[in-house]
Amino acid sequence: MGIVTHKDHEILTIYPFNVLALAMALYGSLAVSCTGSQRPSEPVKPWRKEVSTPTLTPNTQPAPQRVPANPTIDTAASPLPSGSAPQAAATLQTPKAMPPVIDECDTSLDLPEDQAIFLPDNNIFVTRVMSPCLSASGQRGHKRNAGWMAMGFPCTGGEGRIDWKGTNHSRPKMVSFLMETSCLMAPSDHNKLKTEASKVARISETAPLIAFNPFMIQYWEVPGFGDADTSLTVDLRSAESLGDGWTHFIKGKPLKVFLVGRENAWVPGNKVYGIEGEINFASKNRFTFKVTNAQLLSSAERQKIKARCESLKPERSCAEVF
């Protein structure tokens, strides 16, 4: 047995000798192990799995070849024989929706969206017939008694306003003919339109006229003078037109004009009209308009007029009109 004395508390503790010896032996072994290590002690780190970082290398392999979805349209280019010119690649186009097949399809009239019918007696255009359809045999037409739309010309049924600048009416500095879309259009009796539409366009007189829209000027020319512009009014600005043109006009001679524009309403397609007409003197500040010829312009005709517009100085916004 051994005897251990605690001085602080004056307590005498007696341990069995063999237990005390074992404790001292363990303590000595631990001290020898710690003092014999050459590395300083390191803080204990939480355990985690080591993940290796992959090494990125550039991909030098060629890109895979795209497999065409439709061999008849999307195919790989084949070598061209010598002397032959390369051809443009085929492009896909969305097919236009076909009108429905109905029993009441009137095939006596077929007015496509990109066309119009001129009625010369009343100087108006039939611009659209509603409800296109197909008959049982596949012929195009429109539903029987479908509504239709027409376009007239401002100031043909009433007087328009003349706006002139200067102090002398006989020698103004500028003259504007305001062919506003609110100006009255002829004919005022729409039954006359239905009668001529039935005779010329084969539209039934019982079919309703659902809209009678005005023509809107977007480009104009005064033949014989250098005046032309992309505006909503016809203006006289040159010395020639303000001299001879205006002088003869206020004495009763009509002023010939050429107008380019569209229907002042939302309609399918991009229809551009060319109108030849005469502006007639009505009073000091008033005029009337008369249509002498009108047509739906083709693409080639539009390009010719656009070229004349683009030759004007200073430059006008011709691309926005044509």
DSSP assignment letter at 243: I
pTM score above 0.75: no
CB neighbours (10 Å) of residue 198?
Answer: 14
Summarize pLDDT for 10-57 with one digit per residue, the tens. 444 444 445 444 555 555 544 444 444 444 445 545 545 554 555 545
Summarize pLDDT for 212-269 with one digit per residue, the tens. 999 999 999 999 999 999 999 999 999 999 999 999 999 999 999 999 999 998 877 8
The structure tokens listed for 245 are: 């043109």
For 20-43, give one letter per residue: b (16+ CB within 10 A) or e. eeeeeeeeeeeeeeeeeeeeeeee
Question: What pLDDT does residue 37 have?
Answer: 45
